[in-house]
Amino acid sequence: MKSLPESYDAVISLGQWCATAIILRKLGLRSASGPFDWLGPNVRMGRYADLIVNGFMGFLEKKSLRKLREDPNEGTEIYVDSVQGWETHHEFKIGVPFEENYARYRALLDRRIDRLLGTLRSGGRILLVHWFGEGRYERDEVVADMRRLRTAFPGTTIDLLVLETEKFAKSVVYEEPEPGVVFAVGDFYDRSRYDAVLGNERLVMSVLGRIKMHGRLRNLLHIRMNSMRKRLRRLFSKLGTR
């Protein structure tokens, strides 16, 4: 994959929807939750760079949130940041007062922000993964965003992998406008043909599965152990009701 064969100390999701975090976790590449894991909508790379460089100033502030609608299937209320445009779909539970929902979410969000910024200051080798669902980027635009991020964290090596969708593409094409900034272009997301959340999961996993990260096997083991615990709890629960 061009110049991304090295093993990374951490892989961080830059959204732009749940699928990025879900697939990274399945592959053992996601050690912990980040602030962008469950946010929408179609936000460009520059917005992420702005927030990170500015220490997340004004990010999802209580005074900026406006309710859009409810999702009965999810059991949540969907809010939008009326200033910055972010949407949160999973955190505000229906029937729970807004103040209570927000206090819990804010505490969770601040921990995720501190973790992300701490990782970027760590002096390690970090890979950012951004799945851009609609449209194409000007390469110079993203290179400029990455230069700002690298300048803000000079002691850390920061690379970027962007997935861009080209419907009905027969293969994945890789482009590298600058060392450590790689675009993978393929038919990653098409609601008419693939899963509405995970898109073309097989193809995405074939790209992200090439990433190497320290501790990946440990993460996979942890995921499997948690899955076994959940299955056992469900089994004991069923036995207890008989």
27 by Cβ neighbours in 10 Å (0-12 / 13-18 / 19+) ranks as buried
Predicted pLDDT at 141: 95
pLDDT score recorded for residue 17: 73
The burial of 238, by beta-carbon neighbours within 10 Å (0-12 exposed, 13-18 middle, 19 or more buried), is given as exposed
Contact between 56 and 34 under an 8 Å Cβ cutoff? The reply is no
Cα-based angle 106, 112, 115 (whole degrees, multiple of 5):
140
pLDDT the model gives residue 202: 87
In this prediction the pTM is 0.86
- pLDDT for 227 equals 63
Q: So what's the pLDDT on residue 165?
A: 87
- For the chain, 242 residues long, give each residue's pLDDT as a single digit of tens: 555 767 899 999 998 778 888 899 999 998 888 999 888 777 788 999 999 999 999 999 999 999 999 999 889 999 999 998 899 988 999 999 999 999 999 999 999 999 999 999 999 999 999 988 777 899 999 999 999 999 999 999 999 999 998 888 889 999 999 999 999 999 887 555 556 667 788 888 899 999 999 877 666 676 567 667 667 676 666 666 55
Q: Which of 40, 107, 130 is nearest to 78 (CA)?
A: 40
